Structure 1
Amino acid sequence: MKFEEAWKGFGHGEARDGERAGLASCRTVYTSVVPRYWTDHLIAPVRTIGAETATSLKLSYWFSTVEDSPQEGDPNFVSASLRTSTATAWRDAAPSGFVSMLPFEGAQWRFEQPVSFMQFHIPFDLMGMVCVSLFGKELTHDHIRMPADVRDAHLHHSLEHIRHRASSIEPTNLLLDSWALILAETFLLRLSSHGERNRHGPFGKLPARGVARVVDYIEDGVDRDLRLSSLAAVAGMSTYHFARRFQETVGMSPHSYVLVRRIERARALLRRRDEPLVDVALACGFSSQSHLTTVFRRCLGVTPGEYRRRVQ
């Protein structure tokens, strides 16, 4: 079957993507505080992700017909803006690129109407923890460059990838945490003065007993929205070292492995039960039936309903 062939390659392709993106993690910083820019502003975001939960990454979508717009500074977040329309924009009279950083001290923006953009906000404390893990150096605000026009193809690709994924599914907490760590490392490597230093080398593999404990924990909680910090605690190490060593041991990121187990459980339920798809989705840790359908089709090339009809 085609979906069997598709399934064989899933997870390891995800791991390679994560490896190219430079997945780094440390003790993840969770916050329910939203960026000041969301509230102290002439316009309001049309959609937010992570605003009502204690996640480490906050996402916001914007559409504006306002020509001049002040941006409140927020030193608690490292924030980037990805313009998703062709309208021209300026930051403090300087031309803004498709990717722009939001200065900690605030800025004055001018837009060619109308304009749409997406923003990515990472807690500064998380950036600091990743910086220490990568470079052995403390991070201050002065260490990060915040250009109006970020001409970095790798960073642009990373933001676009997250934008498309976040638009097609409802991101879980585990996925938001993973994205935050990927972006934190990317920002540090591309935009910090510490980026010229050599990164930490391989961390080695997890011991077999540690892998077994984590796998058992995932199996018992696959229907829940798992967190990286919880998995790391089971392994008895920091989130940074756990995520690195898990990928080196298993061959895929923790998020990819959890997704594999969720799809496997969904396949088992679809083969032997005739319960509603929404119940299958919730039993496997997906937020909704549409979330299950999107991920299932992306992984196997068929919808859950089509899969059930073929195997029953």
Structure 2
Amino acid sequence: MVFRTRASSKDRHWNGFEAVIYEATAGYSKDQYVRHNVSMQVGRPLLVTSRCNGETMRRLQVPGDVKIVPLGVPRIWETESPTIKLTMYVSPTLVFSAAEAMGINPDRVTIAPQLHVRDPRIEHIGWAVKTELETPEPQGRLYGESLGLALTARLLSAYAPVAAPHGDATLSRRRLSRVLDYVQSNLSSDLSLDELAAIAGISASHFKLLFKQTVGMPVHQYVIRCRVEYAAELLQSADPPPADVALQAGFANQSHMARCMRRVMGVTPSALRG
């Protein structure tokens, strides 16, 4: 089996999470990963034979079908035709910190292999990751790392025999204030979860969970809203070109700003300029 990478997150520097879209020729492959592996079929349907953890399965895989292979577990798979896959890699460090944030003892976590599963939540994350890898205007580290944490939380809640997470904790007012002030002062930067979590003084996975429970939206959505509001102020009160406004507000480019502004405010930058 020969593999060819179509898109990868290697140069995105996502912490604890990596993703790749690749083409694979027909053939046979034996793998054993040093990270937890979640792969999703994104190409056309095909017959796949998989062997993992003493189980063998041969079935038709269609777009959205998912395999979960924990680190260190050997897997063999074979196809009779070419295919396209999205593979997402989750580091054990990310699993450890996410488990702690969810109120789970990390030392007792064991992710169960799944040769074939339909999981709407993982599928939603997978398509979002695929879009992020393929777009010429990526949302940035914060968004990519948020997807990685969302995937990790799903693995822990659905595929590991552990206790249910606690859901009532929030960020303290002091920590939240520090984070919000930092975001407002650094909108032009490519903010990351690790960076904001360090400001709050907690782990990235814990911060992601508590921020959403405190503010009512994921941290990457909050940052986008702040950038949109700041860009709107600049467009209404100053004369810099929209392309410069986009960069000052932390967007990849002018079209990225316009797309986010339409989604958040329902207007275009040109409408704000009058």
TM more than 0.5:
yes
Give the structure 2 partner of residue 79 of structure 1: 37
1:45 counterpart SS class: strand
Give the structure 2 partner of residue 53 of structure 1: 13
Give the structure 2 partner of residue 23 of structure 1: none
Judge conservation of contact 1:87–1:111 (CA < 8 Å) in 2: no
Give the structure 1 partner of residue 58 of structure 2: 95
User: How far apart, CA to CA, are the structure 1 residues paired with 2:206 and 2:146?
Assistant: 14
User: How far apart, CA to CA, are the structure 2 residues paired with 1:87 and 1:106?
Assistant: 24
Alignment of 1:99-138 (within 5 A): 99-102=66-69, 104-138=72-106
1:46 counterpart SS class: strand
Judge conservation of contact 1:101–1:147 (CA < 8 Å) in 2: yes
Give the structure 2 partner of residue 16 of structure 1: none
Give the structure 1 partner of residue 202 of structure 2: 237
User: How far apart, CA to CA, are the structure 1 residues paired with 2:198 and 2:152?
Assistant: 21
Give the structure 2 partner of residue 67 of structure 1: 26
Judge conservation of contact 2:26–2:80 (CA < 8 Å) in 1: yes
Give the structure 1 partner of residue 157 of structure 2: 189
User: How far apart, CA to CA, are the structure 2 residues paired with 1:108 and 1:170?
Assistant: 33
Give the structure 1 partner of residue 2 of structure 2: 42
Judge conservation of contact 1:87–1:112 (CA < 8 Å) in 2: no
Deviation of the 1:202 alpha carbon: 0.9
Tell me which amino acid in the other structure corresponds to 1:198.
A
Judge conservation of contact 1:81–1:101 (CA < 8 Å) in 2: yes
Judge conservation of contact 1:232–1:238 (CA < 8 Å) in 2: yes
C-alpha spacing 1:52/1:231, structure 2 compared with 1 (3 Å): closer
Tell me which amino acid in the other structure corresponds to 1:95.
R
Structure 2: stretches of 5+ with no match in the other structure: none
C-alpha spacing 1:286/1:95, structure 2 compared with 1 (3 Å): farther
Identity %: 25
Give the structure 2 partner of residue 307 of structure 1: 271
Higher relative contact order (CA 8 A, sep 6+): 1
Give the structure 1 partner of residue 145 of structure 2: 177
1:55 counterpart SS class: coil
How many pairs were matched up? 263
Tell me which amino acid in the other structure corresponds to 1:57.
F
C-alpha spacing 1:95/1:273, structure 2 compared with 1 (3 Å): farther
Give the structure 2 partner of residue 206 of structure 1: 172
RMSD, matched Cα: 2.6
* Larger proportion of strand: 2
Identify the range of structure 1 (168-177 vs 288-297) with the bigger mean alpha-carbon deviation: 288-297
Judge conservation of contact 1:262–1:285 (CA < 8 Å) in 2: yes
2:87 counterpart SS class: strand
